[in-house]
Amino acid sequence: MGRYSPVLLAVVLLALGVSFSGVMHAETQSAVQQKWKFSGIFGSFDRSAIQRGYQVYKEVCSSCHSVSRVAFRNLRDVGFSDEEITAIAGSYSIRDGPNEVGEMFERPGIPADYFPNPFPNREAAAASNNGAYPPDLSLIIKARHDGANYVYSLLTGYESSEADESGLYLNRHFPGGKIAMAPPIFEGVVSYSDGTEPSVENIARDVVNFLQWAAEPEMERRKKLGMKVILSLAVGTVLFAVMYSRLYRTLLK
């Protein structure tokens, strides 16, 4: 009997694994699939949505989350003017230095600066978010499977605005079904100047558009280059086929 115990143990562990994965699947729902303008080989950025998404990030998300890989000057690519970018950068305080006496100091941001972290260190960030470290959002879309749909689903997937006895919030799209982050958006949390309705769904879509751009600011250039390469290869293939056909007929004569 003893020689079969490893096999039996493996079977038991496999069964437990299947059961556990089944429970996790039951607690966590798949991401809600959305249609995004940036999807597909011909996809492009919705600059109006990105600008609204930046507003959501600035007014709602930036108190906890950073986008440290994005420079203020990058906002020019999505339609912000130089004057607007200078004003946005100047509204942030940037730690710089050392100065001539070896001390660090604070100064207003300039367009060449990157968005700063709202917290001085990781511990302070976790302490402000129920013990969970709020991640940098620069690459969050690329860091999660089906990133755009996942983030949209997470933002719209809260079951209640009230925390449970453990201080966590029910969210059907977060692994395990509970999350330390309180619902960050609700209807009317921002006011759009272009008349867009500030519903939870619209706000979530806008911030996803902003984060998609933050993660892949070169996306449009990359797709255009890819299309040029494909067209060049197609033309080259046709020319090669024509030349080969003519050469073959010449050799047969």
Provide the annotated binding site: 61, 64-65, 181
Locate 141 and state its tokens.
Answer: 């879309």
Separation between Cα atoms, residue 15 and residue 232, nearest integer Å? 53
Query: Which residues are 71's β-sheet partners?
Result: 114
Preceding peptide of 98 cis, ω within 30°: yes
d(CA 137, CA 142): 10
| Residue-by-residue DSSP string for 158-187 | BS-SS--TTS-EEBTTSTTSEESS-----T
Return all residues near 84 (Cβ < 8 A) that are at least 6 apart. Answer: 75
- Give CA–CA dist 63/72, Å, rounded: 17
Q: Which residues make up each annotated binding site for heme c?
A: 61, 64-65, 181
Q: Which helix (H) or strand (E) holds 178?
A: strand 178-179
Cβ-Cβ contacts under 8 Å for 100 (sequence gap 6 or more): none
Counted residue by residue, the chain has a size of 253
**DSSP-derived 3-state class of residue 54:** helix
